[in-house]
Amino acid sequence: MQMSGAQMVCEAIIAEGVKTVFGYPGGAIMHVYDEIYKQNGFEHILNRHEQASVHAADGYARATGEVGVAMVTSGPGFTNAVTGLATAYMDSIPMVVISGQVPLSLIGTDGFQEIDAVGISRPCTKHNFLVRTIEELPRVLKEAFYIARSGRPGPVLVDIPKDITVDIGEFAYPESVDIPSYKPTYKGNRRQIEKAVEAIKSAKKPLLYIGGGTVLSNASDLVRELAEKTQIPAVETLMARGVMGAKNPLLLGMLGMHGNYASNMAMSETDLVISLGARFDDRVTGKLSEFAKYADVIHVDIDPANIAKLVDVDYPIVGDVTQVLEKMIPLLDDVNTDRYQAWREILKRYDELHPQSYVDSDEVIKPQWAIERLGELVGVDAIITSDVGQHQMWAAQHYPFDRPRQWINSGGLGTMGFGFPAALGAKRAFPEKTVINITGDGSILMNMQELVTAAEYKIPVINVILNNHFLGMVRQWQTFFYEKRYSETDLTFQPNWKALAEACGGIGYDVTTKEEFDAALKDAIKQDKVCFMNVAVNRFEDVLPMVPAGGALFNMMLPQKKHGEEK
Amino acid sequence: MAKATNERRVVSVVVMNESSVLARVTALFAGRGYNIESLTVAPIPGSDMSHITIATNGSTKVIEQITKQLHKLIPVYKVIEHEEMVEKEMVLVKFPIAENLSDISVLCAAYNGGVVNVGKEMIITMVADEPMRIKHFIEAAQRYNPCEIVRGGVVAIER
Ligand SMILES: Cc1ncc(C[n+]2csc(CCOP(=O)(O)OP(=O)(O)O)c2C)c(N)n1
């Protein structure tokens, strides 16, 4: 069928089954927006900043597992989208971003709103395309979606010069893709898997190290099955919260810089690390030479470049976690679970010695209490997004995440301003679910214009602002490592949160007591409108345990014990 | 254990002919802090692919990462980390015509080369040989006051 490039873009989005596109128009992309106006195969949401559009598409992708789509114009539209691309890239999120570009004849002339989008985005996309002819456009669109979701997923940018969106060409959306130079490995090598199984059977202190790759691969059920069958204890990374399930007796907790005592000690003492879709990030490992010092390492990862990048690996298995576990689990029928009994008991004792805890207060709301309370009130049904800072770590530590894709946060890039727009994407994908963004008084302002978007499109996400009147995480480092010189982190000057939310068409709640917290949350859920819950929390609470950057995992700063708990 | 010492390595990268493929390869080196000692690129006859030869150096671990990261680039078809290879490099050197031309041509002949152009004031010689021998040739050529030296970068083929 003959059609314009702009129509092809819409047809491809429809053919890919995308229901919601997030974006912002401008000169170079106007033909595409004209076609969006005419079609009804998908809805378009006008965010109030391109960064938010990309984060929203990202949140949609993380919540559903499908490719998220964002659309922006050339020049500043594209540069505003870069943080969104980088955020998705670091966490391997499948996404296609379509950007307008100046007409082909103007490329290279410093034309109005011309910027080298493929050049800028090269290091923060899985791949990118500058479309050069109308003939290649259908194939490029198909490949973009394919590359985004296959192998190790990631964001793909398609930069389309304006004249190509006007050109007429033949459109037949390709059924399949053949890129001879791109053939991801999904099946793990059987021989390697067998060797790894032997290692598991002869280990005394094995440990499952579960990363975000298990979420991307939808491997949660298999991971739980592996743990259950072998009775091997497990630790989750920040990106894997929810995979094992909140009440799973084999789950020790989260490991890393703000991991709990038992998890970090387990990693320090294990004799066999079974890494599933994790990538040994420095926030997880601490000092590398001390990390899992006594252990052999099984490393399952779809990206060969992740394997042996940071630690030496004894049993490398390149493949999709799901496919590898499907082969591995049956080989473990005769595993002797008693073998690990002594190890489980040691870890249990560690957890009793220093449980994940905090000292609650009757005078002021503790941020950890607020998160636990959220867990009690909305629990497994809600989707939780977060921004970046202390609130993010407390959420990861204290919320009872019970299923994968319940917890959506920017782990790799650590992007403040991610949570609110990502929540919009998640809520659009699952309108029946309560979606809560746990945020701070710093982060929320970095995309607060989305109040308007949320009000206009009636996307009722709840922003719980754990308000410590500080850039709390930076303040914490200043307390510990900069002799309390609070350089540019004091946020005593505050907006009127309630008025701000209301001015944009939302609801605001000022919360200072536990009773008010419960009441505000109940009302927010009932009102079904975007809201800011401004929760005053104590200013100087620290995220603990903490492994100072570059320190060994077993050297943790631990929380004070609760009264009466000293043994 | 990975060796910490730096070693020289030659890597061949077979890529699909696409507009920005060379930029992707070099940006990867720049962005991840890897060294490029020399780089050559040319189309592979009778195909829609090109052959990039990169001489680099780094620890075993770094070289391993380089090959893996290169392989991750979508248009990269094949990465060959050369072990047993024939490696050649070319150099063009311009000498003043007043120098001892017979000495120069004997020197070039000793390094598998010769005079390729003679002008009014200059002669141009060409030598193609192993990179180490090219280095020696250039050292020896200093005696004859070369006015310009252009090295070509290595190409390699696995034996
Ligand atoms: C875009 C961006 N800028 C700066 C930082 C550095 N940073 C990390 S945490 C943090 C403080 C966040 O403050 P707030 O949102 O109030 O959360 P809190 O730590 O107080 O819970 C800052 C500035 C970042 N992660 N992202």
User: Residue B6's pLDDT band (boundaries 50, 70, 90)?
Assistant: confident
Q: Is the CB of A445 under 6 A from ligand 1?
A: no
Domain B7-83 and domain B86-158, same fold? Reply is yes
A277 within 8 A of A212, measured Cβ to Cβ: yes
DSSP-H helix ranges across A354-414 = 367-378, 390-398
Helix (H, G, I), strand (E, B) or coil at A28: helix
Q: Does domain A190-353 have CATH number 3.40.50.1220?
A: yes
User: Residue B2's pLDDT band (boundaries 50, 70, 90)?
Assistant: very low
pLDDT averaged over consecutive 10-residue blocks of chain A (567 residues)? Answer: 98 98 98 98 98 98 98 98 98 98 96 97 98 98 98 98 98 96 96 98 98 98 98 98 98 98 98 98 96 97 95 97 98 97 98 96 97 97 98 98 98 98 98 98 98 98 98 98 98 98 98 98 97 98 96 94 51
Q: How far apart are CA A522 and CA A499, in angstroms?
A: 20
Contact: B23, A308; criterion CB under 8 Å: no
Cβ neighbours of A312 in B, within 8 Å: 1-2
Residue whose pair of structure tokens reads 């893996």 in the numeric block: B68
Contact: A308, B19; criterion CB under 8 Å: no
User: Residue B67's pLDDT band (boundaries 50, 70, 90)?
Assistant: very high
Contact: A305, B65; criterion CB under 8 Å: yes
For residue B19, the model assigns a pLDDT of: 83
Q: Which whole-number Å values give the CA distances from B60 to A77, A513, B1, B4, B69, in the listed order?
A: 42, 59, 9, 7, 14
CATH topology of domain B7-83: Alpha-Beta Plaits (3.30.70)
Q: Where are the domains of chain A?
A: 2-170, 190-353, 367-536
Give the residue numbers of A annotated as catalytic, written as ranges.
50, 112-113, 162, 473
Q: Does domain A367-536 have CATH number 3.40.50.300?
A: no
Domain A2-170 and domain A190-353, same fold? Reply is yes
Task: For residue range B83-92, list pLDDT tens digits in order.
Answer: 999 999 999 9
How many CB pairs (< 8 A) connect A and B?
38
DSSP per residue, A439-450: EETTGGGGGTTH
Residue whose pair of structure tokens reads 């290879």 in the numeric block: B85
CATH topology of domain A2-170: Rossmann fold (3.40.50)
Task: For residue range B92-107, list pLDDT tens digits in order.
Answer: 999 999 999 999 999 9
Q: Which atom of ligand 1 is nearest to the CA of A417?
A: 1
Task: For residue range A209-248, list pLDDT tens digits in order.
Answer: 999 999 999 999 999 999 999 999 999 999 999 999 999 9
Instruction: For chain B, list residues whose CB is within 8 angstroms of any CB belonging to chain A.
Output: 1-2, 15-16, 19-20, 23-24, 27, 31, 61, 64-65, 68-69, 71-72, 74-77
Kindly report the nearest CA distance between residue A180 and chain B, in angstroms: 7
pTM higher than 0.90 for the full model? yes
CATH tag, B86-158: 3.30.70.1150
| d(CA A542, ligand 1 centre) in Å | 14
Cβ neighbours of A146 in B, within 8 Å: none
User: Residue B5's pLDDT band (boundaries 50, 70, 90)?
Assistant: confident
For residue A564, the model assigns a pLDDT of: 47
Q: Where are the domains of chain B?
A: 7-83, 86-158
DSSP per residue, A185-234: --SPPHHHHHHHHHHHHH-SSEEEEE-THHHHTT-HHHHHHHHHHHT--E
Q: How far apart are CA A382 and CA A519, in angstroms?
A: 18
